[in-house]
Amino acid sequence: MISYQPRPEEIKTLREATGAPMMDCRNALVEAAGDADRARAVLLERGAAQAAKKAQRAADEGLVTAYIHAGGKIGVLVEVNSETDFVARNPRFAELSRDIAMHVAAMSPQYVDRESVPDSVVDGLRVELRAGVPHDKPVDVADKIVEGRLNKWFEEHCLLDQAFVKDDSMTVGDLINASIGALGERLRVRRFTRYALGE
């Protein structure tokens, strides 16, 4: 049985869309039998797997990136960390940092990730969301409704859970995982600050 052989232009298109290395793009297209959407999903899955393997490694290098938007009315500072200064100087890393800063300017997340939301905020949200569930619902159904609404809240307020502003088919977390796959190091958003004129 002959496996699918992707054409160079297919590999190039996938690389431009994902930033993944050429061989990874080629292998993903072979695995997906030429289906570009499936190949992209394969690359995202591999990026997430690599991110999980690298999650315990120290990421103390990186960049603080500034982004000014809307004629100087919104400004963002974001710190994105890598394991080495070598990766921090890579153009792809700089582009990732700028994309994240631009996303923060546009979408105004409150927290980096779910783990950074204080327990008191989550507990208060659960109480508030529970009050909005009709009283005739069974407890297990009510619990599922509350958790579903809480997940929706995380997707709206946590940077890594938000749909990426330049490509809503992926989250910011997926974007970072794809960059981990391409750059081969643990990457993380440590913190960000968003300033808006008059706020």
In this structure, the answer to whether residues 138 and 42 fall within a common structural domain is no
- For residue 15, how many C-alpha atoms fall within 13 Å in the half-sphere facing its CB? 15
The total domain count for the chain is 3
In this structure, the answer to whether residues 73 and 108 fall within a common structural domain is yes
Give, in order, the Cα–Cα distances in Å from 149 to each of 139, 144, 153, 156.
15, 9, 6, 11
Question: For position 103, which CATH number holds?
Answer: 3.30.479.20
Domain membership of residue 15 (yes or no) is yes
Query: Which residues lie closer than 8 Å to 118 by C-beta, 6 or more apart?
Result: none
Range of the domain at 100: 61-113+158-196
Q: Residue 43: its pLDDT value, please?
A: 76
Domain membership of residue 89 (yes or no) is yes
Question: For position 43, which CATH number holds?
Answer: 1.10.8.10
* pTM, 2 dp: 0.70
Domain membership of residue 124 (yes or no) is yes
Give, in order, the Cα–Cα distances in Å from 137 to each of 127, 143, 150, 152, 169.
16, 9, 17, 20, 34
In this structure, the answer to whether residues 70 and 87 fall within a common structural domain is yes
Domain membership of residue 133 (yes or no) is yes
Q: Residue 49: its pLDDT value, please?
A: 57
Domain membership of residue 31 (yes or no) is yes
| Helix, strand, coil shares, percent, the chain, to 5 | 55, 20, 25
Give, in order, the Cα–Cα distances in Å from 69 to each of 64, 87, 122, 170.
17, 26, 31, 23
Q: Are strands 61-69 and 188-196 parallel, antiparallel or unpaired?
A: unpaired
Q: Residue 134: its pLDDT value, please?
A: 84
- DSSP-derived 3-state class of residue 3: coil
In this structure, the answer to whether residues 173 and 100 fall within a common structural domain is yes
Q: 14-25: per-residue pLDDT in tens?
A: 777 776 777 888
Q: Which two tokens stand for residue 181?
A: 């796959």
Q: Which two tokens stand for residue 73?
A: 């009315």
In this structure, the answer to whether residues 66 and 105 fall within a common structural domain is yes
Q: Strands (DSSP E) along the chain, which ranges?
A: 61-69, 74-82, 163-164, 167-171, 188-196
Domain membership of residue 23 (yes or no) is yes
In this structure, the answer to whether residues 86 and 181 fall within a common structural domain is yes
In this structure, the answer to whether residues 90 and 21 fall within a common structural domain is no
Q: Residue 176: its pLDDT value, please?
A: 93
Q: Residue 38: its pLDDT value, please?
A: 87
117 burial class (0-12, 13-18, 19+ CB within 10 angstroms)? middle
Domain membership of residue 1 (yes or no) is no
In this structure, the answer to whether residues 108 and 24 fall within a common structural domain is no
Domain membership of residue 135 (yes or no) is yes
Say if residues 131 and 73 touch (Cβ distance below 8 Å).
no
- Which residues of the chain are under the pLDDT cut of 70? 1-2, 19, 47-59
What's the one-letter identity of residue 141?
V
Q: Residue 58: its pLDDT value, please?
A: 57
